[in-house]
Structure 1
Amino acid sequence: MPELSDRTAGFTDSVIRRMTRISNQYNAVNLSQGFPDFEPPEKILQRLAEVTREDFHQYAVTWGAQNFREALAKKITHFSGVDVDPNAELVVTCGSTEAMMAAMMSVTNPGDKVIVFSPFYENYGADTILSGAQPIYVPLIPPEFNFDAEVLEDAFRQKPKAIIVCNPSNPCGKVFTRDELQIIADLAKKYDAFVITDEVYEHILYKPNVHTYMASLPGMKDRTITCNSLSKTYSITGWRLGYTQANPEVTERIKKVHDFLTVGAAAPLQEAAVAGLNFGDDYYESLQQKYTEKRSLFLKGLDDIGLIHTEPQGAYYVLIDISEFGYESDLEFAEDLARKVGVGAVPGSSFFKEKENRYVRLHFAKKEETLDEALNRLSLIRKKI
C-alpha cells in the first residue's frame, strides 16, 4: 500500500492515556490521567437532566450556542478585565485540545517555528508537528521551573510565529508571575509573534499565587490567542467543552478550521454548562479551597513517606523524584508502580524535551478517601520496588 504520513511517523499514543489503561489493568489507583472521581456541581447536573427533555439535540451554531458564548464572555471579562465580544472573539471547541489545534493551524504555516516551554503538556509538540511547524524548546529550570530570559530571547531571535504558554502549568504546577508574563509579552511584541496560552487551570491556584491573564497585559489582547476549557473548573472533563478567545480576524480563521475539524461542540452539554458559567465568585473561592485542602493532604502524605516532590503553585499535579529507586527508564518505573504498588503515574520523560528520567507525575484531583488509599499504597513503595 502507499506510504503513510511522514509527519506522524514518529508519533506514539498518548503516554498519559496509556497509563490510565495500565492502571485499569492492574486495578491501581489512577493518579495518572488528570480527571476527578467526584461529581460536577449539582446545578450543572440538574440542568443537564432538564436538557435531555428539551430541544437541544441537534447542531448548535458551529462556533458555539449564543447563550453559551454570552455567558462565557461575561465570565471572562469578570475575571480577566478584558472585554470580549461573544460573537466576534469566541469559538466553542471540542475541548481545549481542539482549541489548541485550531489555533495552531490558524496562525502557522509549514516551516514556521513555535516556542514551547519544557516540560510541556504532551499535545503541544504534536500540535506543532501536525501544523507543519517546528518546535523550539526552552527549558523551565527545576525545582522552581523558572526560565532564563536570555535563553528565551535566543529562541525569539529565530523569528517564531508563536509561543505556547501553559499557565498554570501542566505538569510542573508553575504559575507565571506578572513580571514573567511581561517579559514574554515584550519579546512577542519585539519579534512580532503570537502568544497562544493554555489557561485551563486558571481557577486552581494556591495562595499567594495569582493568575494573570496574558490578554490583559498592555497591548496583548490582539496578539494573544487564549485556549481554555470548562473541564477542570467544573469537573466535567468528559464533556469536551473548550474555547478560543482571540481578536476578530484570528477568530474568523479559527471558526473555519474548527468547522472542518469537528463542526461543533455538543449542543445539550453547552446548554447545561451555562449554569456553571453563571456561578458567582463563591463557587470559584470554594473550588480553590477544595483543591488547597487536597494539595495539603497529598503533599503531607508524600512528606511522611519521604518521597521528594515538587510543590505546585497551581493546577493539581506533583512531580515525584524517583532517583533513589535506580531505574534507567521512568516508563519502566511507572509500569512497576502500577503493577507492584497499585498506583498509576505518568513517566516524566513524556513532558520533557531534555533527556529526563528522574520524575513521575501524580495528580490529586480525587476524593479524600482515594488519596488516602493511594498514600497507603505508596507507603509500601520501598518494600515493593
Structure 2
Amino acid sequence: MNFPIANRIANLQPSDIRLMTRECERLGGINLGQGLGDLPTPPMVREGAIKAIQNGLNTYTPSEGVASLRQAIAKKLKRDNGLDVDPDHEIVISSGTTGAFAATLTALLNPGDGILLLEPYYGYHLNTILLNGLEPHFLPLAPPEFALDETALRAALRPNTRAMVVCTPSNPSGKMFSAAELAIIERVAEQHNLLIISDEIYEYITYDGRQHLSPASIGRLGKRTVSIMGFSKTFSITGWRLGYAVADASLAKAINLVNDLLYVCAPSPLQYGVEAGLQAPPEYFDKLRAEYQRKRDIICQGLADAGLTPLIPQGAYYVLVDVSHQGYPTAKAAALALLEQTGVASIPGSLFYQGPQGERLIRFCFAKEDAVLHEAVARLSKFRSRAPLKNSQPT
C-alpha cells in the first residue's frame, strides 16, 4: 500500500552530515564532521542523575521542568548572562535546544511568516523553520569576520519578516556577536517589531578572553527575545537532550503549551543531573574554556600546516576551512576527497548556505580528546590538492 507523505516534509532531505558520518564509519576514519563530542561527562552531573534514579524520581515532571532546576537556571542567568528572570513563569525546560526552538516557532509564529537566518546557519534551524511552514529569509555574512552590517540587515528584511535567529557563539562559524552588532539588531528589531530567537548553546565555549553576550541583555531586546540555551555542550551530554527557553512570561506560557504537547516534559532524572552541574564552581567553566581553546589551537595549527586555511573561531567547537584553492568543484567533493585521502571526515560548507559561498568551505568539529586530534592532524598532512579545473574562473 502506497500512502503519500505529508506536504510539509516534501522538500526536506536527510543531511549530508549523516552521509559523511556513514562514509567515515565505512572507512574506519576519524569523525571530525558531526558534532559528536567524546569528552567525559562531569562526575557531579552523572552522579546527580544516578542519585535521582535511585531515589525514584522517574515520573513526569511539570511540563516547564523541575522547579529546583528552573531556580538554579535563574541564578545562573543572573550571574553569567545579566538577566533577571522569574523561574516560575519565564523558563521552559525542553527536549534539547532543538526542542525549545521547535516549540518556540510553533507557539509564536504562523505559517507564511518570514524569519531571517544569518548565513552560515545551523541546518536544524532551517529545516525546523520549513517544517513549520515558515518562509526563511537569508543574509550572508562574509568570512572571515562574519560582521553584521546594519544596511545589509535592513535590506534583507521583507514585508512579512517577523523574526530573526541569532546563533552566538555560532555553529558553524564560531562567530560571537559583539555589543555593537547586537545594538544594530536592537535598533532594527524595535523599528520592525521583530521577535529575536537567540541560540546560545555554546555560551561557555569562548576563546581568547572573549565574553559571551546574551542578546536579551542588550537595551530593550529582552522583552522581544527568546533565549535558547542548554547543557549538551557544557556538560558533554549531547544524548541527554536537555535545553531550555527563556522569555517574557506571556511568550514562555505559549512556548510551554506547545512544549507540553510535543514532549510532555524533559527526562526527569536527567534534569536533576544538570541541576547538580549548575552548582559547579567558576573554575569548572574556566577550565572548560581553556580545554577547548587548546583543542582549537591543535586543529587550526594542523590545518594550516596541511596547506589549508582555517577561519579561526571565536567560540563554539567548530572551525570552517577555506578550500577554494584546492581545485575541487564543490565543498562536498573536497570533503569526500579529504576523507578518502586521509580518513578524516569533515562537513561540506554548502550545508550552511543557500548561495554559492558555502562551496568554498568545509567544517571540522574539534570536540575530541587531544590524542584523537593529534592523530587527525597527522592524517591531514596527507591531503593533496586536485589539479585546477580547466577553464575554471576564480570566484
The TM-score normalised by the length of structure 1 is: 0.96
Q: Could you say which residue in structure 1 is the equivalent of 2:392? A: none
- The answer on whether the counterparts of 2:32 and 2:344 sit within 8 Å (CA) in structure 1 is yes
- The answer on whether the counterparts of 1:45 and 1:272 sit within 8 Å (CA) in structure 2 is yes
DSSP 3-state at the match of 2:374: helix
- The answer on whether the counterparts of 1:119 and 1:352 sit within 8 Å (CA) in structure 2 is yes
> How do 1:229-308 and structure 2 match up within 5 A?
229-308=230-309
> How do 1:73-152 and structure 2 match up within 5 A?
73-152=74-153
Query: Paired residues, what number?
Result: 385
Per-residue Cα deviation, 1:285-324 (whole angstroms, up to 9, x for no partner): 1111111111122212222222111000111111112223
Per-residue Cα deviation, 1:326-380 (whole angstroms, up to 9, x for no partner): 2223223323322331111111000011123111100111111000011111011
The offset of 1:225, in angstroms, is 0.3
Q: Could you say which residue in structure 1 is the equivalent of 2:379? A: 377
How far apart in 1 are the matches of 2:198 and 2:18? 23
Q: Could you say which residue in structure 2 is the equivalent of 1:361? A: 363
Per-residue Cα deviation, 1:186-209 (whole angstroms, up to 9, x for no partner): 110111011000001111111242
Alignment-mate amino acid for residue 194 of structure 2: A
Q: Could you say which residue in structure 2 is the equivalent of 1:198? A: 199
Alignment-mate amino acid for residue 333 of structure 1: A
Per-residue Cα deviation, 1:145-177 (whole angstroms, up to 9, x for no partner): 113311211223534111000001111111110
The offset of 1:256, in angstroms, is 1.0
Per-residue Cα deviation, 1:25-61 (whole angstroms, up to 9, x for no partner): 2111111111321201121122233233111111121
How far apart in 1 are the matches of 2:187 and 2:6? 37
How far apart in 2 are the matches of 1:48 and 1:105? 30
- The answer on whether the counterparts of 1:153 and 1:187 sit within 8 Å (CA) in structure 2 is yes
How far apart in 1 are the matches of 2:327 and 2:221? 46
- The answer on whether the counterparts of 1:107 and 1:161 sit within 8 Å (CA) in structure 2 is no
183-192 or 289-298, larger mean C-alpha shift: 289-298
Identity %, equivalent residues: 38
Q: Could you say which residue in structure 2 is the equivalent of 1:57? A: 58
- The answer on whether the counterparts of 1:32 and 1:344 sit within 8 Å (CA) in structure 2 is yes
48-57 or 109-118, larger mean C-alpha shift: 48-57
Is the counterpart of residue 223 in structure 1 residue 221 in structure 2?
A: no
The offset of 1:232, in angstroms, is 0.5
Q: Could you say which residue in structure 2 is the equivalent of 1:176? A: 177
How far apart in 1 are the matches of 2:148 and 2:344? 32
How far apart in 2 are the matches of 1:357 and 1:383? 15
- The answer on whether the counterparts of 1:309 and 1:319 sit within 8 Å (CA) in structure 2 is yes
The offset of 1:144, in angstroms, is 0.9
207-216 or 119-128, larger mean C-alpha shift: 207-216
How far apart in 2 are the matches of 1:272 and 1:334? 38
- The answer on whether the counterparts of 1:203 and 1:233 sit within 8 Å (CA) in structure 2 is yes
Q: Could you say which residue in structure 1 is the equivalent of 2:15? A: 14
> How do 1:318-337 and structure 2 match up within 5 A?
318-337=319-338
- The answer on whether the counterparts of 1:75 and 1:278 sit within 8 Å (CA) in structure 2 is no
Unpaired runs of 5+ residues, structure 1, are none
Q: Could you say which residue in structure 1 is the equivalent of 2:27? A: 26
Q: Could you say which residue in structure 1 is the equivalent of 2:67? A: 66
> How do 1:155-166 and structure 2 match up within 5 A?
155-156=156-157, 158-166=159-167
The offset of 1:384, in angstroms, is 10
DSSP 3-state at the match of 2:222: coil
How far apart in 2 are the matches of 1:15 and 1:243? 27
Alignment-mate amino acid for residue 280 of structure 2: F
Alignment-mate amino acid for residue 168 of structure 1: P
DSSP 3-state at the match of 2:228: strand
- The answer on whether the counterparts of 2:38 and 2:369 sit within 8 Å (CA) in structure 1 is yes
The TM-score normalised by the length of structure 2 is: 0.94
DSSP 3-state at the match of 1:325: coil
Per-residue Cα deviation, 1:252-273 (whole angstroms, up to 9, x for no partner): 1111111111111111111111
Q: Considering only aligned residues, what root-mean-square deviation do their CA atoms show, in Å?
A: 1.6
Alignment-mate amino acid for residue 190 of structure 1: Q
DSSP 3-state at the match of 1:210: coil
Alignment-mate amino acid for residue 9 of structure 2: T
Alignment-mate amino acid for residue 377 of structure 1: R
DSSP 3-state at the match of 1:225: strand
- The answer on whether the counterparts of 2:137 and 2:157 sit within 8 Å (CA) in structure 1 is no
How far apart in 2 are the matches of 1:86 and 1:26? 48
154-163 or 207-216, larger mean C-alpha shift: 154-163
How far apart in 1 are the matches of 2:206 and 2:237? 18
How far apart in 2 are the matches of 1:23 and 1:185? 43
- The answer on whether the counterparts of 2:50 and 2:269 sit within 8 Å (CA) in structure 1 is no
